[in-house]
Structure 1
Amino acid sequence: MVRRAAVDRWGVEDWQHVHHPARAEHRLARHSAAPVTGDHHRTDGAQDETPSAEPLLPDAVRARVTALAVDLFPGLGPDVLPAQLRRFAQFTPARRARLAGPAVVAQLAADPVFRERLAERAVEAAGPLGAAVAAGTPPGAADPVEVAALAYLARPSHWTTLVEAASATVVAAAESEQVQAAARQVERLTEQLERARVNAKADADKLRSDLAAVRAEADELRARVRELSKALRDSEQDVRRLTDAVSTERGRVAAASSTSDAEIRRLRSRLADAERELELAKSASRAGRVTDEARLWLLLETIGNATQGLRRELAVAPPDTLPGDAIAASAAAAAGSRTKAGGQLWAADDPARLDQLLGLPRVHLVIDGYNVTKTGFPGIALEQQRTRLLAGLAGLAAQTNAEITVVFDGAGRPPAAPGSPRGVRVIFSPPGETADEVIRRLVRAEPKGRPVVVVSSDKEVADGIRRAGAYAVPSVVLVRRLDRA
């Protein structure tokens, strides 16, 4: 549209002058003598009375005009540079272009003298292109923006045509770029549409496939529902039959339960009668057994007391020889044999005698401590004697079930009482009392009938405990028994 307006305004010949310099060479020659001003000249050489109107510059052309102007500021003297533009001369080129642009464009439009002086320097700086533009014959391959900017400043003949032609070219280029961009956009949209169509077709195919699968699955489910419905009806019929059977069975069970309850009550009654009879029989049996046990206990108690009384009265000790030993000894003497009778039950110092006594039930072994230690190992200190004896008695207690008590004279009591081995009771006689007296008290404290064995070589102690019903064993027997262990 801009290009058509330029043609309508200036004519076909002027347009050909811009784009076809060869055809309009004679026209440019007629205007070559005219000064480079902003005034429009007629073809007959007469000057128009009114100056040409300022054309509307495209943004690119206006920016280039501003750039050319501000680049020339440093070379302009104060007499050439208008006062309102002098402050921009000290700025950097980029800052001048940014800040002085509107003022420069306005000054160029309002001050022809400033524009002409600026045009001279711009044409000179542009070289051949500037000279061609000033002559009105710019090359066709030149940048239209550069040509329009130089033409705006130099204002050769038909300069407005050059500006408008360049503007039309810029607009056409912009429109062409827009058209190309639109074409590219259309191409992209076409490709997207094609991809969308392909995707839509694929989605449609997939949906049709899914729909077919869903329909097949629905058919299977319908068949399954029919099967389950039939199975449910059959199950309901079975449940009704089973319910009837259960009801019948419950009636039968109730009748049987009633009969069983009656039988159970009858049997419980008979069981209660039998338990009462059994309890009466047990009571009678217990009464008879208690009487028999009382009679037996009285008999045994009488016999035991009589035996203990005789033993205490006669002071009978376990025999050293048996009756057969006496007969064997007399027979050997009559025959004049020197062979020693071997049937003697125990020697006086035989440990077997002590073992037999310790085998008695609930036997209590009482030991005269220092009498035994001084018999067995007199060559060591009293403390060592006690330790050795207690160690041996601990082993004896572990081998037998006898209650073992060892009594030491309190005069030799250590500052700290020694510990008692397991199963052995250790007693030190209190002040003013001897170990012999403590042993006699122990024997008297035992109940009648319990076997008590006292180990001591003291004759007075042995005689006394025999009269009390205890057994007396020499100390050497215990020493040998401990050595054997």
Structure 2
Amino acid sequence: MSARPEAGGEPDGTGPLDGDARAAPPGDDTAPGDGAPGHDTEHLARPLPEPVRARVVEYGSDVLGGMRANDLPPLLRRVARFEPRRRARLAGPQIAAQLETDASFRATVAARVEQVWPELAEGLRSGLVPPAADPVAVAACAYLLRPRGWADIIEGVHRELDRQTSAKEVDEAAEALDAARRQLDETRHDHQAELDRLRSQLRSQRTEIAELRRKVHTERQRAKEATERASRTLNETADRESEATARISALESENRRLRSRLADAETQVENARRAVRTGRNADEARLRVLLDVLVEASHGLRRELALPTALDNPADLVTGTEQQRRVSLGGLPDDDPGLLDHLLTAPRVHLLVDGYNVTKTGYGTLPLADQRTRLMNSLEGLASRTKAEITCVFDGADVDTPPVVASPRRVRLLFSAPGQTADELIVRLVRAEPPGRPIAVVTSDREIVREVRRAGARAVPSTIFLHRLEAYG
């Protein structure tokens, strides 16, 4: 905004920065200064410094947000609903112009500034500028409050800012000069080093050229000697070629004779192979007849002895003997949702379920009988879909007679004996399996997980198992 009186003042000759007293509302005899209307006759000799102008616009933008709609200047009503920083950015020139021409709006902003900076406002009215105050804030408050000598205060701040700017420019120029001098010294040093290097390289190249000249002379002598040797070699080679031609003719004759003998030998070998194949085919035919007889005899013997077609699974014949470890299932991590599907794809997999650990994790609020029934029904559906061998183990150590549960047709149901925990029974079932068979144990009991892993089985968390049962539906 322009602070010069001649830059567009009022009709009575006052400039855009000193017409505020005339715009004060009726009944208010004091302008937002020290109460002397004559103070607004002061003028600025030059425009406000840019930092001061930005601060004044910021104060005006902050006050716009708190004014009533009826009190807002018409030109600023459109931007009053913006946030303060956006108002200052988008409507800065309009706010600055309104502060120059609208004494009422400037008085409102000055009142807010006086509330925020009461000591600074009092000092400006008394003619004492606080020495430690921010010059920009002092100039902005003086411009809005218009105390006696406000134009001189702003002019002093203007000179101080110019002095600071000049000092900063001088310092920057000095720093640039020092940097240029340092760069010049470095360039001179680098140039001298490069010059010394080139001189050394030139001496080295001269020495190398002299050495190369001596080598060229030596090589010329050697080339002359080599030419003479080549002439003698060519003569010797011509003699040897005639001898080689005679020997090649003799070798070709010998080669034709050997090829004839090789063809006769190959014919004899092929006749021998044909005879061997004929004899081997006869032996294989006799062996095939013998195997057919043995197979038919074994089938007849099985029918005669009425032998069963399948034996019991090892989990049906659990004994107290410990079995050796087996190779554990690899693949996905324990917390992977697809772990159960991955394990059930293994051929002849045996799935052991820690019954109460699973039911108390998924639906522990039900009675124990209902928990067992619900789990066994889910396992029956899983067994029918996957055809996997499934064994569910419940803890029966606290009762004399294990609870009676109708065992589904596809799921083996076991209760631990009195004095034995379900954990121990599960570990025995794992160790009873033969080495190499894939075993998966569904439990979240850390003790069981540690033991079955030692025995070579794979542990499946109960939460993962329950989620997959729900997915299977």
TM-score (norm 2): 0.37
Larger Rg: 1
